[in-house]
Amino acid sequence: MNETDLALFLDSFERCMQNDRFIKVFYEIFIGSSEEIAAFFLETNFAKQRRILKSSLYEMVAVSARRSADTSALSALTQRHLELKIQSHHYELWMQSLISAVAECDPYFNPEIARVWCDAFQVGINYMKAGAWVAARE
């Protein structure tokens, strides 16, 4: 991600994180994306889950902003997802839901913002998908 794209992403990310509705909107969209996803959240404490997601988003953004191959900060998150039996296709639904939430909560949303959000989270998603793939092969 070049400097221009990173700046565009970080500005949008900040607008979304400052919007009190952003995380709630994301979960409404994500849970509605499939029955399989909804089942993961049947007994969820959403006050706690929203804090967890917010923290995870910041971790993934830090990995992207550093623009290095060091994804070790995502190890605990990946491990938790393995324990929950999160599969590769769930990450696609997650990303689509995230972009939909950004579209709803960032007043400056446009195709370029969608692209930089996808780019920013791709490193982390690839890392977690690789963990799911390795676990499935064991």
**How many domains, in total, are found in the chain?**
1
pLDDT on residue 18: 96
Please give the average pLDDT of every successive group of 10 residues along the chain, which has 138 residues: 91 97 96 94 91 87 66 64 71 94 98 96 79 48
Residue 38's CB is within 10 A of a number of other CB atoms, namely 12
Q: Are 63 and 74 in contact (CB under 8 A)?
A: yes
DSSP state of 112: H
What CATH number does residue 86 fall under? 1.10.490.10
Give the domain range for residue 105.
Answer: 3-137
Q: How many residues does the chain have?
A: 138
pLDDT on residue 136: 46
**E runs forming strands in the chain:** none
Q: Are 108 and 15 in contact (CB under 8 A)?
A: yes
What whole-number distance in Å separates Cα of residue 138 and Cα of residue 123? 23
